[in-house]
Chains A and B, each alone.
Chain A
Amino acid sequence: MKQSLIFRNAWLFVALIVLLAYPQFQKNQYYQHVMIMTMMAAVLSSSWNILGGYAGYTSLGHAAFFGLGGYLVALAHNRYGWHPFVSTWFLAIIVTGVALILGWISLRTQGSAFVVVTIAMVFIFRLLALNLSGITNGARGLTQPRPGWGDVPWSPEFIKVPFHYIMLVLLCLTVFVSWRIRQSKFGLGLIAIREDEGKAEAVGINTMLYKVLAFGFSAYFVGVAGGIYSYFFTYIDPQFIFDVFTGVTMVLIALLGGRGTLWGPVLGAFIMEPLGNWIIGEFGGTQIHLTVFGGILLGVMLFMPQGILPTITNVIQQRAKARAAQVQS
């Protein structure tokens, strides 16, 4: 029994080792970049999954927290000299606080209205960023100094490596917390809410509290990622960072991999992000990449609504049952 546990999780250790060693054997900047973005997509999607997958509340507004994290970190860096790799973890707590408040307001609406309200959130943040130019520099955006540590900027060959590792740490943290939530009473309650919210309420689950908490949790990691992102690109502006499309990609990735599962969002990210990069590379001049994304989303919704992971799990289970039935007869 013990052996099978290790065996089942062996792939995890292998994956971890590969990711740890990645920047050592992959020196091509472009591929380092794609890996960082892929891990970030996995973070965003897994984080979203806490609310959208476990509890079943589809938020299309998480880009608001992504951008907020980015702006807070950029501002703190420019004004107080706080290094993003340190500050983002704390500033994301502010993002979570904002999310708890917004969640409390928006989660009182019915399921369908909720999605709309989350979209409005992104727009409010974008407009605030555009208009409060005294703080945010408006449409011109905020730049940060070249990435480095202390007074020493990192060399161009090395520059992406620290980002790779911090993103890896964030990914591990996000997946770990998602896992712990899934195993806890809180997680069980969220799933109950997804299955039948009225029944969950009737058996003693304070659904509003659970949902708001899930909202908060799902915002934290997105906020941290946003902070790292703003440093990675050294530039953010309202149009760039408060984009509903970011939120939709989070959802698409979770759906593709398996919404509500632990590893689904991660799997989805490792498929979609490289694919997306390739598509934009090939067709970037036009808007056609939107159509491709739309097509994939539509395809997943119509033909594989559970996502890859649950579909594969079902197939394996069906085969196992068929074999068991055969053995018996």
Chain B
Amino acid sequence: MLSVQNVSKAFGGIKAVDGGSLEVKKGTVTGLIGPNGSGKTTLFNIITGFYPPDSGEILFNNQPIQKLLPSQICHRGIGRTFQITRLFWKMTVLENMIVPVRHTGWRTLFSQGVKKIEEEHAMELLDMVGLTKFRDDEAQKMSFGQQKLLEFAAILMSDPELILLDEPAGGVNPVMIEKIMTLVDDLNRQGKTFLVVEHNMRLVMELCQHIVVLDHGQKIAEGEPAAIQNNPLVLEAYLGSEHHAGA
């Protein structure tokens, strides 16, 4: 579904992504892991159109997308959460749900802000994540975990086919992590594809069918969770070269 081909991106003199490639198969939950600074978030930013790659191509459903605007990429069906949760803080929970747009035309642009049918859809999604009673509260008044759920639910409004999650479990308590994992799993069963950047290894190992490992902007390993766990290259990347894989 998503094909990142030999993408490079440098900032100043530093190559954040250096010939990185990865494939995400439709209907899977793919994990993207690697030590800090390995280029994961940069790759996300490139895929979603915030930076143009210096070289390389990105294909989504066989269409190149590396030159598109982030809003266009969203319209193609890719949704994304941010490492540090980004919401429209002063808007209400409901309004945050309504803002994402999948299809725009001139008529939609000037139509009523919050339509009945959208409101219903939004309430369904809020229900799914358990935020129903907060609908008229300001986003900034919610707890950290609730905000993460809201961000997730909001991007579901535009019904994306591929969802990029940037550290969904970051800084969140174990109960919430379970909740998020269940959500991802359910949605995956319904046919949605995920690409997840995470440091929480349990989440990655349990949720992902396929894992790609990045280090210094390049792919150093990929495969099933079991294989990755025992891969010496991966351990070296995380722990440094003094440590070698034990038995």
Known contacts: A185-B101, A199-B87. The answer to whether A205 contacts B71 by CB under 8 A is yes
A-B contact list, 29 entries, CB within 8 Å: A184-B109, A184-B111, A184-B112, A184-B113, A185-B101, A185-B108, A185-B110, A185-B113, A186-B110, A187-B113, A188-B114, A189-B99, A191-B91, A192-B99, A196-B87, A196-B88, A196-B89, A199-B87, A202-B48, A203-B74, A203-B79, A203-B100, A204-B71, A204-B75, A204-B101, A204-B104, A205-B71, A206-B72, A208-B69
Collect the chain A residues with CB atoms within 8 Å of residue B86's CB.
196, 198-199, 202
Is residue B95 within 8 Å, beta carbon to beta carbon, of the partner chain? yes
Q: Considering only CB atoms and an 8 Å cut-off, how many residues of chain B contact the other chain?
A: 34
Q: Which of A185, A198, A204, A207 sits near B111, CB closer than 8 Å?
A: A185
Q: Which of A198, A199, A205, A208 sits near B101, CB closer than 8 Å?
A: A205
Q: Which of A184, A189, A195, A206 sits near B89, CB closer than 8 Å?
A: A195
Collect the chain B residues with CB atoms within 8 Å of residue A155's CB.
none
Nearest Cβ in chain A — how far from B233, in angstroms? Answer: 33
**How long is the Cα–Cα vector from A199 to B155 in the complex, in angstroms?**
11
Is residue B70 within 8 Å, beta carbon to beta carbon, of the partner chain? yes
A203 adjacent to B101 (CB under 8 Å): yes
Is residue B158 within 8 Å, beta carbon to beta carbon, of the partner chain? yes
Nearest Cβ in chain A — how far from B80, in angstroms? Answer: 6
A183 adjacent to B113 (CB under 8 Å): yes
**How long is the Cα–Cα vector from A138 to B217 in the complex, in angstroms?**
61
Collect the chain A residues with CB atoms within 8 Å of residue B154's CB.
203
B113 adjacent to A188 (CB under 8 Å): yes
The residue of chain B having its C-beta at the shortest distance from the C-beta of A210 within the complex is: B109
**How long is the Cα–Cα vector from A203 to B96 in the complex, in angstroms?**
10
Partner-A contacts on B (CB < 8 A): 48, 50, 69-72, 74-75, 79-80, 82, 86-91, 95, 98-102, 104, 108-114, 154-155, 158
Q: Considering only CB atoms and an 8 Å cut-off, how many residues of chain A contact the other chain?
A: 23
Is residue A200 within 8 Å, beta carbon to beta carbon, of the partner chain? yes
**How long is the Cα–Cα vector from A199 to B99 in the complex, in angstroms?**
10
Q: Which of A186, A203, A206 sits near B158, CB closer than 8 Å?
A: A203
A195 adjacent to B71 (CB under 8 Å): no
Report A166-197 CB contacts with B as 1/0, cut-off 8 Å: 00000000000000100111111101100110
B155 adjacent to A203 (CB under 8 Å): yes
**How long is the Cα–Cα vector from A32 to B212 in the complex, in angstroms?**
74
Q: Which of B74, B89, B108, B111 sits near A202, CB closer than 8 Å?
A: B74
Collect the chain B residues with CB atoms within 8 Å of residue A200's CB.
88, 99
With A184-B111, A195-B88, A204-B158 given, name 5 new contacts (CB 8 A). Answer: A185-B109, A188-B95, A192-B99, A198-B86, A200-B88
**How long is the Cα–Cα vector from A199 to B114 in the complex, in angstroms?**
19
Collect the chain B residues with CB atoms within 8 Å of residue A192's CB.
88, 91, 99
Nearest Cβ in chain B — how far from A295, in angstroms? Answer: 29
